[in-house]
Structure 1
Amino acid sequence: MTNDKGILIKNVYYMLTYAFQVLKQSNYDEVESEEFENIQDLFAAILAKGIAQQLKQGLYQEYISRCDNLSVLRGKLDIHGTINNKLQRKQKLSCEYDELSENNVFNQILKTTAIILLRQSTVSAERRTALKKVMLFFEGVDMIEPACIKWNMLQYQRNNQSYKMLLNICYFVLDGLLMSTEKGEFKMATFLDEQHMSRLYEKFVLEYYRYHHPDLRATASQVAWNLDDGVIDFLPIMQTDITLRYGDKILIIDTKYYAHTMQVQYDSKTLHSNNLYQIFTYVKNQDVSNTGNVAGMLLYAKTEETITPDCDFNMSGNKISVKTLDLNIAFNDIAAQLNRISESYFGDVIKKEE
């Protein structure tokens, strides 16, 4: 199945496997072999499998501060609370203490996302059954209001590193919620939109090159401003999506995921001017010595428009390309497109050194 933009649902899964390497593990093999009617069903399958795997390792626990009236001292004595107990003739000590609990924000997000997916008619009965099964172990975990989740405040460390992929899936689900005015229930918006897919698309391309072409040292690096004079404090940071390096040659790739690849001005279609200015700025500031060994590429996700850009320019001694990546074909062919991009720029250099 495809979405409105023409992307195969299975290809979204493959993009997720590169963005989050954990999906390459053998326990997700069943997910890869299945067919999905829609993206919500895919997310439900990944979460059900991932939560089941997490349960085998044990749910992540955090210390939660509690205050209770106890018969014996535990933790820190709350003087004011204990005095109130005495006044009420209660023979109890008011104690403040920390206790390991599964009822933390990480597990709350998992439970909330699973419950919302269970309420979606687009999720198959098979996936609902799997989610219900793992939710039996979340009785002591509270739900959380999606709008209250501070995603940028979540901190991962050794004990909860395995949650990172699962919570990214939860983000895709919860960030695409719409409130129904009829019953007050959450409904899911289409995931495959510009906001969500642009992030996944960028991460996928970067991780693909890291995995299959380690010799190109793919990174999301910053480009320093090449100034003759002046203070750089107020200049914006130039952060590339993907930078590939081999020897003294550099290719800067800026991924773009738009509903419309071309902009329309006076009934004529042209490239997005801001995108072209951006990649040109990256390249010229990276190529400090004006060697011409730095190239730039705008890599658009192909739409169903009749005209899609596929062109190369030589601008002030540097090569600037605008290409499209078709995501509505077999994944092997997507991989071949990405391989051709690296070979077209680095092929000659790599062959000489070999």
Structure 2
Amino acid sequence: MSKYKRIFIKNIYYMLSYAFTTLKQSVYENIEKEPFDNIYNLFAAILAKGIGLHLKQGLYREYINCVEDLTVVRGKIDMPGTIRNRLQARLAVTCDYDELSENNLLNQILKSTVLLILRQKDVDEKYKAELKKEMLYFSEVDEIELSQIRWSEIRLQRNNRTYQLLLAICQLLVESSLMTTENGDYHLASFIDEQRMSRLYEKFILEYYAQEFGQRIKGFSSKARQIPWQLDDGNDALLPIMQTDITLTYGIQTLIIDAKYYQRTLQTNFNVRTIHSGNLYQIFTYVKNKEAELKGTEHRVSGMLLYAKTDENLVPDNVYQMSGNQISVKTLDLNQDFSEISRQLNQIVADHFGVNI
């Protein structure tokens, strides 16, 4: 059994609910109460509820460029097409116009992903039935090639930002779990690759602290911040950006957290198991540059590597004092009741900042 299957499926829901706060809307509240034995049933349930909500509000529409032959002028006349019609003795004008349409990329992604889910035998019929009913309202929306979607180029705006959660679910399904059979059919592979889960894990922790502490305790901040290099001559050519996963600040204290989601928490050299050296060098660099940045002010900077627990017997839980700063290595077990996950995350804040919720 893979590491991913040992994460409680309900905890995937909770992680998503923090990473995408729209999942906490009342329309989704019944999902939290349902038992799920299959990650795809969870995703199908979220998509069904979310698409149903969008259908009530009206599917997002945007202007689509159309060029076609008409008997009356609409928009601008396309001269090359119109001349071609005249040469062919056709009584039509080629028109170039924009039409407000539901047949746009966002709805095409939703429809194509749902059709993929409907072809999966592991998805319960009750979710398939709900999704099939909803797809009746997508009759004017085209199906697209899922493997050709360029997710990084999708830009959400104020009037379509409600699609963010649903597109994230689609991306997890399509980009991480899509496999192709020999005859060209698609099926879903086992959930989810390490890279995608790592991003979800990072965003979950960041948003957990922002919502549970940042919204309740004045002056507490949870953000993914950049740390400037503290250079003697100011020459930063070719230096990489230091982008933290999570930076917690409260009063004079700063805790920089690097969230790590690996199949193996420890590295092995000559049969000796140690913390990943690259991870330790990175968090140490973050801490020392932040320390130098705050020089001359009252401050305290600490760092933490927060690993998602694997099936390894040796579980890191260490605190080191390095050149005047505390660097800790902790492990968060995602395969337990969420109340215990919450307790462990809260304890990190209590230990470093002395505050509780």
Q: For residues 218 and 230 of structure 1, what CA distance do their matches in structure 2 show?
A: 28
SS of equivalent to 1:287 = helix
Contact 1:2–1:9 under 8 Å retained in 2:
no
Maintained 8 Å contact 1:262/1:269: yes
Alpha-carbon separation, structure 2, partners of 1:171 and 1:238: 27
1:153 Cα deviation after fit: 1.0
Q: What is the match of residue 332 of structure 1?
A: 339
Residue of structure 2 equivalent to 1:149: 149
Runs of 4 or more, structure 1, over 6 Å off, are none
Q: Secondary structure at the match of 1:251?
A: strand
Output the CA distance in 1 between the equivalents of 2:326 and 2:12: 31
Q: Contact between 1:75 and 1:98, CA under 8 Å: does it hold in 2?
A: yes
**How many pairs align?**
348
Q: Is the 8 A contact 1:243 1:252 kept in 2?
A: yes
Equivalent-residue separation in structure 2 for 1:189 and 1:69 (angstroms): 45
SS at match of 1:218: strand
- Per-residue deviation at 1:62? 1.2
Between the aligned partners of 1:2 and 1:55, the Cα distance in structure 2 is 37
How many angstroms does 1:5 deviate by?
Answer: 4.9
The whole-number CA distance in structure 1 between the counterparts of 2:260 and 2:5 is 14
Deviation readout 1:304-334 (Å, 9 max, x if unpaired): 1111100000000000000000111110110
Show the counterpart of 1:218. 222
Whether 1:310 and 2:317 are equivalent positions in the alignment is yes
Counterpart residue type for residue 133 of structure 1: K
Q: TM-score, normalised by structure 2?
A: 0.94
Which of 271, 286, 289 pairs up with 1:285? Answer: 289
Q: Give the match for residue 75 of structure 2.
A: 75
Distance 1:51 1:272 in 2: 42
- TM superposition score normalised by structure 1: 0.95
Q: How far apart are the structure 1 equivalents of 2:277 and 2:267? A: 8
Q: CA deviation at 1:122?
A: 1.4
**More moved, 188-197 vs 272-281:** 188-197
- Give the match for residue 179 of structure 2: 178
**What corresponds to 1:116 in structure 2?**
116
Q: Are 2:210 and 1:203 aligned?
A: no
Distance (whole Å) between structure 2 residues aligned to residue 210 and residue 230 of structure 1: 33
The whole-number CA distance in structure 2 between the counterparts of 1:59 and 1:174 is 21
**TM superposition shift of 1:338:** 0.2
- Measured after TM superposition, the shift of residue 188 of structure 1 is 1.1
**For residues 5 and 262 of structure 1, what CA distance do their matches in structure 2 show?**
20
Structure 1: gaps of 5 or more residues = none
Q: 1:138: Cα distance to partner?
A: 0.8
Helix, strand or coil at the partner of 2:249: strand
Match in the other structure for 2:130: 130
Is 1:39 equivalent to 2:39 in the alignment?
yes
> Which stretch shows the higher mean deviation, 99-108 or 183-192?
183-192
Give 1:44's aligned amino acid.
A
Counterpart secondary structure, 2:15: helix
1:87-118 deviation line (CA, Å, top 9, x unaligned)? 22212111110101111110010001000011
Aligned residues of 1:191 and 1:197 also touching (Cα < 8 A): no
The alpha carbon displacement at 1:59 in A equals 0.7
CA shift, 1:184, in A, is 2.0
Displacement of 1:86 in angstroms is: 1.5
Aligned residue identity for 1:345: H
Distance of 2:284 and 2:47 partners within structure 1? 41
Change (3 A) 1:314 1:252: same
Distance in 2 between residues matched to 1:233 and 1:24, nearest whole Å: 44
Q: Percent identity?
A: 54
2:106 & 2:348 partners in 1: Cα distance?
39
On the 8 A contact 1:242/1:252 being kept in 2, the answer is yes
Within 1, Cα distance between the matches of 2:41 and 2:71?
A: 50
2:172·2:192 contact (CA, 8 Å) conserved in 1? Answer: no
Q: The residue matched to 2:351 in structure 1 has which SS? A: helix
Checking the alignment, whether the CA contact within 8 Å between 2:226 and 2:243 is kept in structure 1 is yes
Secondary structure of the residue that 2:209 maps to in structure 1?
helix
Alignment of 1:2-17 (within 5 A): 4-17=4-17
Code of the residue aligned with 2:45 in structure 1: it is A
SS of residue paired to 2:120:
coil
2 CA distance for matches of 1:204 and 1:5?
A: 18
Residues 1:262 and 2:269 aligned together: no
